[in-house]
Structure 1
Amino acid sequence: MLQTLSIRQFAIIDELDIDIKDGLTVLSGETGAGKSIIIDAISMLIGARASQNLVRHGENKAVIEGVFDIDDNPAVNQLLIEKEIAQDDFMIVKREIMKSGKSICRINNQTVTLSELKQVMQELLDIHGQHETQHLLKAKFHIRLLDEFSKGRYQSLVEEYTATYDVFQEKKDELKRLERKDESLLQRLDLIKFQHNELTQAKLLPGEVNSLKEDINRLRNFEKLNNELTKAVSYLSDENNIIDKIFDFNESLKEIDDVLNGEYQSLLEETNSVYYLLEDAKHQLYDELTTNEYDENHLNEMEARMNLIQQFERKYGKDHAELITLIAELETEINQIENLEESTSNLKEEIKKQYQLLLEIGAQLSKERRTDALQLRSKILDEIYHLEMKSANFEIAFTKIEPGPSGLEAIEFMISPNKGEPLKSLDKIASGGELSRIMLALKTIFAESKGQTAILFDEVDTGVSGRVAQKMAEKMKQISEHIQVICISHLPQVAAISDHHLYIEKHEKDDRTVTTVTELTGKDKVREVARMISGVEVTPLTLDHAAELISQNKQHKG
């Protein structure tokens, strides 16, 4: 649950700190006071896209920080472990929005990406407003909602179907590519055969370029190499050469060592090593000198070979190793084109098998979904009956379709708000009050299925009043007994039944507009509920009405 919210330099909010308790918290206030801005600020904490326009005029950045109690949320704790983020009973989420448009997200003071923030927060908190209402209305999302409601009961089937469908689509796409190739097949075949032929005739060998470079360099520098080898051998072989002098030196050192009882033994071993090292070097250099020969024809052959390889590298835009790989690729493509009919036939057979497999898995998946759809329908009917739609009917329609990414059937929530009316799509509901009740019913169920610990309702009660408003208030109160509920509302019934009431207002300070939040209790709460009842003027009668409404709801809560 959300415990504290700190907002700095966000829209018209200068500085605002709000303590939010469990249960049902209502935010009320005059239109334009900043209620929705507070919801927007919380949206930043769950990963909404930021805009530089959200930074208060004249400031460099906006900062929103929330402290969440996650002690009883194993899903969030597991995600923090996976992402190697420091854990505690509380989680601090911070979002900084720069005037430049850049945004920084942090969890427990560790920088995370926006997608990582969304992944963690979707397990914790949900905002239901106008945008999500549209989301819930669209039929294309209903299959996902049904799967969420199942709580993973048939998740393995969903994954198996998805994997099979992906393979099915890949095979179909491959078949399309082959069939498209057919139009220019002969031209393409002639070209790649020519390329394959000339590269194959070149007989390119792995590693030959380095070998050629070494041999060409040796022959091009033959004279220099021969001179230096001759000099090096003479230093070690001529009269008064280094090796003989070291030998004589070692003989003297032996005599010295004998007299001094082995004091120079270590030095003698080292000089002996030098002697033998130079002896080996003499023989190696001599062998190199005697075998070093200049062959102009061989040099010309190697340079011609190198030029040929470089021409191919320039022509194909690939290095020597990539050219060798290209030969194999061309050979594969030639075989595929030359055997196109066979390849096409094999692909069609594979596609047919995948299609049959899709039908089998899809049929099992449909069966499971239909079973859970009956339970979901029953729950939704219970919810909307409680919200004074006792004549309504609700169905989850299954329509056969060609195998798609989600299954063999399209799923759509259908409703008949009043007795005698035909079932119709949710987005065809004309009454704002009916829509609000259906959305609250759906949200109640899906909030439970997601296992979140906090939910924010942004004016979900639009278009209702009287007894219906009271029922919606009771429903929100019922939800708040299980998870934290924060609600922006214009309904006095919701404010009256709330556990906590925050009043949002704006005023001018130092020629700037600022927003403040005050928790209302006692007479202050009665006066605000009275204002919500009357609209503008608060009279003794509306005050009595407000006090009675609060008193009745206290009894209801009890």
Structure 2
Amino acid sequence: MLSELFINNIAVIERASIDLEPGFTVLTGETGAGKSMIIDAIHAVLGERTSKELVRTGEASASVSAMFTGLSEDALEILDSLSVPREEDGSLLVQRDIKLEGRSACKLNGVPATVSMLKAIAPRLLGIHGQHESYELLSPELHMTYIDSFGRLENLLEKYQAGYKRLRELQRQLRELDTDENEKSRRMDLLRYQIEEIEAANINPGEREALTQSRDIARNGERISSAVEMVKALLAGDEERGGILSDVSIAAGELERMSGYMSQLEEPVQKLREAGFLLEDVDAVLQGISVDFDPAALDEIESRLDLLYRLGLKYGESEEQMLRYLEGCQEELHKIEFSDEEKERLSVEYEQEKQKTIALAKELSQKRHTAAERFTKQVKSELAFLNMPGVEFVTQIERVPLTPTGCDKLQFLVSANKGEPPKPLSKIASGGELSRIMLAVKTVLSGRDKIDTLIFDEVDVGVSGAAANRIGEKLRQVSENRQVLCITHLAQIAAMADHHLRISKRVEKGRTYTQVEPLDLEGRKQELARIIGGDEITKLQLDMAEEMLKRT
């Protein structure tokens, strides 16, 4: 659930720290007080697109932080997949900064995150339903997800989709094999030529690097030989004077004799001895080096490098890439040479997979029909409860060729008036009707979806009286097994909440400030009275507010 929300410099909200409780919470306040800004702030931490216009005038940045507690195992697994560390208490802190200049930033449990990461975890944290969000009901492609969720058909759908994916892959492979004989012959000739050319080169991994080094040695053989001989002479000396090896040995012996009188000389003696050993090793290595300049060998190396360069232009920069290209050519040639046999094998596999996939699609369709019948009946019952008894709600399912979701085309139809045939929601429902239909749908799905927090933004638009009471009762019912937050303008709904937050604004030194405060019983009476009658609160309105609170 959403347990804490901290907002800083979002439009009229300079700073607000909101503690939220389980159950049913309402947020009320005058128009323009900042209720929509709270929804915008929540949208931001869910990874939705934000505008720099959200930043409070005069400020360089804005920020929103949300603490979610009691995360589901599904949510925790998504965090694991995103490499976000788990907290011991199973909580998640989502932070988002919006800057006027430079890049905005996101964090999940203190770890830098991207907006796409926020979007990945958002569906397991919170759902917002208002006039805008209810318009998802106008998208028929989403209706099937409701039925599959209601009927617990996700595993069967996943099994079908695996078969469908394999079926499409087999189709692709068969199409590749279904080429005319002339094209097949041309392709085989090209592959054979490429294979022969690469095989004839007898390429070895690392060969070019070794050849390049050998070429450098051959090109600079005289200079290398001269340098080696000079160093050997310096180390060994000649008939006239001793070399470095002799000088170092003499120096070490001289200091060693003196070290008996001065102990500080023992370390220099040791280092001179070590230097002598190292120089002897160098001399031994140089004695084994012999550089012969062979023009013929150089020509051979240059010719080989040229061949590798030309092959590299066609088949890959490195020897490894050229050898992988060779393997690919060999595999493709083998497939073409045995394409008839491969085509026959794939055709048999395709038919077998097709029958399995069709059977799964039919099973899925049958269960969708059963689930849709129960779903439709329950939604109708909820709509009647929400004072929409005249609305006819229908789940239409049509058979279509296989698609990634099965063999069904599914959408919800509604008739708002008796005698009128049901039509798609986009042609019938108003904003207020959509909100109530969404509430009915979410009530039916409340035991199926995996979201712990639902927010209803002005779901009471266009309703009053008995309908408002019913909406309030339904919201309270939904809150029995999850957290429900509702922004409302109706006293009937506000009176039924477990918790009540008032959003108010004040003007100070020409600036508007919004604050959010929890209300006690007396505060709730005052706020309900204001909603009922306006700013001039009377005793009668207070009595009505008190009576409403007692009834709930």
| TM beyond 0.5 | yes
1:484–1:183 Cα change, 3 Å: farther
Seen in structure 2, the aligned counterparts of structure 1 residues 305 and 419 have a Cα distance that, compared at 3 Å, is same
Using the alignment, how far apart are the partners of 1:245 and 1:61 within structure 2? 75
Pairing 1:416-431 to 2, within 5 Å after superposition: 416-431=415-430
* Equivalent residue number for residue 163 of structure 1: 162
Deviation at 1:11, TM superposition (A): 1.6
Aligned to 2:438: 439
Cα distance in 2 for residues equivalent to 1:280 and 1:520: 88
Structure 1 partner of 2:540: 544
Measure, in 2, the Cα distance between the counterparts of 1:178 and 1:93: 51
- How many Å apart are 1:193 and its aligned residue? 4.9
Q: Distance in 2 between matches of 1:63 and 1:245?
A: 76
1:233-244 residue pairs with structure 2 within 5 A?
none
In structure 2, the residue corresponding to 1:63 is in which secondary structure? strand
Question: CA offset at residue 110 of structure 1?
Answer: 3.7
Give a deviation string over 1:247-281, Cα, whole Å, max 9, x none.
x99xx9xxxxxxxxxxxxxx9xxx9xx99x97998
Q: 1:40 matched to which residue of 2?
A: 40
Provide, for residues 502-530 of structure 1, a one-character-per-residue CA deviation record: whole Å limited to 9, x for no partner. 33333422222222334455666445445
Where in structure 2 are the equivalents of 1:349-368 lying within 5 Å? 349-368=348-367
Q: How does 1:443-462 map to 2 (within 5 A)?
A: 443-462=442-461
Query: Could you tell me how far apart the structure 2 residues matched to 1:202 and 1:447 are?
Result: 69
1:454-487 CA distance string (max 9 Å, x none): 2211011212222112111111122233332221
**What is the DSSP-based 3-state SS (H/G/I as helix, E as strand, rest coil) of the residue aligned with 1:481?**
coil
Match of 2:18 in 1: 18
Is this contact kept in 1: 2:315–2:325, CA < 8 A? no
Whole-Å separation in 2 of the counterparts to 1:474 and 1:154 = 30
In structure 1, C-alpha distance between the alignment counterparts of 2:112 and 2:540, rounded to whole Å: 52
What is residue 149 of structure 1 aligned with on the other side? 150
Aligned to 1:8: 8
Per mean C-alpha deviation after superposition, the further-off stretch among 95-104 and 73-82 is 73-82
Instruction: Output the CA distance in 2 between the equivalents of 1:324 and 1:72.
Output: 51
* Residue 130 of structure 1, CA deviation: 2.5
Residue 380 of structure 2 is matched in structure 1 by: 381
1:449 is paired with a residue of what secondary structure? coil
Preserved CA contact (<8 Å) 1:75 1:123: yes
Query: 426-435 or 486-495, which moves further after superposition?
Result: 426-435
The residue number in structure 2 matching 1:510 is 509
Q: What does 1:159-238 align with in structure 2 at a 5 Å threshold? A: 159-176=158-175, 193-223=192-222
- 1:492 is displaced (CA, Å) by 2.6
Alpha-carbon distance, 1:85 to partner: 3.1
475-484 vs 233-242, which moves further: 233-242
Give the Cα–Cα distance (whole angstroms) in 1 for the partners of residues 459 and 179 of structure 2: 53
Deviates further, 433-442 or 412-421: 412-421
Deviation at 1:191, TM superposition (A): 5.1
Residue 368 (structure 2) aligns with? 369
> 3-state SS of the aligned residue for 1:126?
strand
Q: Which residue identity does 2:25 align to in structure 1?
A: T
SS in 1 for 2:516: strand
Scaled by the length of structure 2, the TM-score of the pair is 0.80
Deviations 1:325-381 (A, max 9, x none): 223323334454566666555544443333222112223333443443344334323
What secondary structure sits across from 1:376 in the alignment?
helix
SS in 2 for 1:401: strand
Distance 1:228 1:367 in 2: 88
For the 8 Å contact 2:529–2:545, the answer to whether it is kept is no
Partner of 1:501: 500
CA contact (8 A) 2:397 2:409 kept: yes
8 Å Cα contact 2:415/2:428 also seen in 1: no
Q: Which amino acid aligns with 1:24?
A: F
CA gap of 1:286–1:495, structure 2 versus 1, over 3 A, is closer
How far did 1:127 drift? 1.2
Cα gap change, 1:241 to 1:501, in 2 (>3 Å): closer
CA distance in 2, matches of 1:486, 1:344: 59
In 2 relative to 1, CA 524–160 (structure 1 residues): closer, same or farther, beyond 3 Å?
Answer: closer
The residue identity in structure 1 corresponding to 2:296 is N
Q: Deviations over 1:170-220 (max 9, x none)?
A: 333444556689997676666555544443433333343244334434444
For structure 2, list consecutive stretches of 5 or more residues without a partner in the other structure: 254-268
**Residue type of the alignment partner of 1:382:** S
Q: Which secondary structure state, in structure 1, belongs to the residue aligned with residue 50 of structure 2?
A: coil
Q: How many correspondences in the alignment?
A: 532
Q: Secondary structure at the match of 1:122?
A: helix
Label 1:326 to 1:388 Cα distance change in 2 as closer, same or farther (>3 A): same
User: Unaligned 5+ residue runs, structure 1?
Assistant: 253-266
Query: Which residue identity lines up with residue 99 of structure 2 in the other structure?
Result: M
Cα contact 1:9–1:55 (8 A) shared by 2:
yes
State whether residues 400 and 409 of structure 2, in contact with CA within 8 Å, keep that contact through their aligned partners in structure 1: yes
- Cα separation, 2, equivalents of 1:106 and 1:32: 30
Classify the secondary structure of the residue corresponding to 1:498.
coil
Q: Given that residues 128 and 455 in structure 1 are in contact (C-alpha distance below 8 angstroms), is that contact kept between their aligned partners in structure 2?
A: yes
Shift in CA distance, 195/538, structure 1 to aligned 2, threshold 3 Å: same
Q: Which residue of 2 aligns with 1:263?
A: none
**Counterpart of 1:465?**
464
Q: Secondary structure at the match of 2:355?
A: helix
Distance 1:211 1:5 in 2: 64
Helix, strand or coil for the counterpart of 1:102?
coil
Cα distance 1:481–1:224, how it changes in 2: closer, same or farther (>3 A)? closer
- Supply the distance in 2 between the matched residues of 1:295 and 1:496 (Cα, whole angstroms): 101
| Aligned 1:283-294 pairs, distance under 5 A | none
Question: Residue 482 of structure 1 aligns to a residue in which SS?
Answer: coil
SS at match of 2:325: helix
Could you tell me which amino acid in structure 2 is paired with residue 554 of structure 1? K
Residues 300 and 488 of structure 1: CA distance in aligned 2, closer, same or farther (over 3 Å): same
Q: Which has the higher mean CA deviation after the structures are superposed, 105-114 or 50-59?
A: 105-114
Q: Is the CA contact (8 Å cut-off) linking 2:492 and 2:548 kept in structure 1?
A: no
> 1:215/1:76 Cα in 2 relative to 1: closer, same or farther (>3 Å)?
closer
Are the counterparts in 2 of residues 76 and 120 from structure 1 also a CA contact under 8 Å? yes
Deviation digits for residues 18-63 of structure 1 (CA, Å, limit 9, x no counterpart): 3333433222233322211111112223332333221112211112
Deviations 1:139-191 (CA, angstroms, capped at 9, x unpaired): 101221223334xx544322222222222223334445566899976766665
**Structure 1: which amino acid aligns with 2:321?**
E
Quickly say closer, same or farther: Cα 1:214–1:376, change in 2 above 3 A: same
Is 1:66 the counterpart of 2:66? The answer is yes
SS at match of 1:408: strand
Amino acid at match of 1:318: E
Match of 1:126 in 2: 127
Q: Answer with 176-185 or 105-114: which moved more.
A: 176-185
1:403 counterpart residue number = 402
CA root-mean-square deviation: 4.3
In structure 2, relative to structure 1, the CA distance for the partners of 1:524 and 1:230 (3 Å cut) is closer
Q: Quick one: structure 1 residues 181 and 162, their matched pair in 2 at CA, closer, same or farther if it must change by over 3 Å?
A: farther
Amino-acid identity (%):
34
Which residue is 1:261 aligned to? none
SS at match of 1:365: helix
Q: Secondary structure at the match of 1:436?
A: helix
CA–CA distance in 1 between the matches of 2:536 and 2:288? 114
CA distance in 2, matches of 1:544, 1:105: 50
